[in-house]
Chains A and B, each alone.
Chain A
Amino acid sequence: MNRISAVFESAKGPILNVYATAGFPHLGDTMTVLEALQEGGADIIEIGMPYSDPVADGETIQQSNQVSLDQGMTVAHLFEQLKDLRVKVQVPVLLMGYINPVLQFGVERFCQKCQEVGVDGLILPDLPMAEYESEYQEIFERYGLYNIFLITPQTADERIRRIDSVSQGFIYMVSSASTTGAKTGISSEQELYFERINQMNLKNPRLIGFGISDRESFLKASASASGAIIGSAFVKLLAHSSHLREDIVTFVRGIKGLK
């Protein structure tokens, strides 16, 4: 079974998915960050593949992408860094990024590499569903990769149902109409939206992302979904950390309410 499905089946509390930009704060930090996230208790890890033009991302993630690229990160180098991923990390790992670097690497070759190093799924926000179904689905599935789709407060019910039928693993529920890191906290209007989707009885579980930054917003979001995703708040911590491992473990434990 794909590790992502296994996590949702066995989870006791809300699931915490943390996003970290690869090669950030320093090019060689990728594996250190992943191991510390696992040690702290993250249930799923999303590794951001840096891109020069990340239109769905706000300033914090944009800048981390640029820093990583300036330090020499490439798709090929990332796979090199993840060579021993499954010796050290057991939690599910997703790669999140934009479609162009994947196209240039070669879609099939990319998926093959993902399977080789033990990546469980992909989040490619600018790969639309129709395109995925006609050109990519067969290849992704051949290499055991889940493709994670996004929904937003503006996504029509009918489209949510279609996305649900194509999805595997979970649906990434964007908490508000925004880029990443634009807002923090959860309003009562957002809670209504979370609950509305919760009532749809979708086949896939949902994780809520965008604007989740601390234990309070994590719990609020998890009340109407299986868990939540923290991105910009964690990247900010990485940018300012002087003791990477300790800081990450403390941060993750704090969100999960572990001692």
Chain B
Amino acid sequence: MKPQRDGDWMSSSFDVPEALQKRVSTIAVDDLAKRGMRTVKVLDKAAILSLVDEAVEQVVATRLQNLDTEDRDKIREEAKSQFKKLVAERNSHQKEKQQAYEDRIENLRAQAVSLEEKLVQAESAKEEFARQAEEQTEASASEVLNPAVAPVPNPVIDSDQLKEVIKEAVAEAKGDTPSSSDAQMEGLKASIDALASKVTSGSSSRGSHSTGSKVIEPPTEEALVALFSKETGEKIENNLDQVEVKNAKAGGVSANLAKLKNLRKETE
């Protein structure tokens, strides 16, 4: 509906603040001073709006007095149908939102299920790998020369990306949803987050010597590459070259070097 200044005042709306905004002009205080103006009378937006309200009320009151019954009924009917129309519009909008929200929950649930499946896969691959590694370790002739164990191939899940999607979904869904389901949404988000991190950290591991309970998981190879490429991009501001680093001197290593070279020569 376009704002109208005159015509049927009941079925049109007039946006006073917008109209004000359109008509104001901005002049720098300095310019005013140049024109010789030393004081300015200021009327704030709220004052203008209340003035407009007052004027409209007065006009409506006087006009209503002059209306005959037929006109009055007509106006009442119009008002009623306008109101109904607004309610219907609002309801259908609400329904759409609700539907979108439910779709999203469904979607998140599906993601959770697929993550869970991937986790199970990763875990069984890990076990299988650990078993192989164990066999290798046992069979190996020398402990020192036995290399570390390679990471298990990772299921390709970018948990950050996933978390981002979930965050967006939650933020979006939150906007207009009934507040009673916020908690439900939060719960779901938390469990998906937990699951996602479990998948990432559970996805690569060295198998053989985990005698202790302490497990520190390395980032995935993708994460490693991402870190490196981030690192190469920007020049990092610092003052490191302006500050002296702690220095020390220690006994020479010439004797060690001589011994080592000698030993090597003798064994060649």
Whether chains A and B associate is: no
Binding site for A on B (CB under 8 A): none
Binding site for B on A (CB under 8 A): none
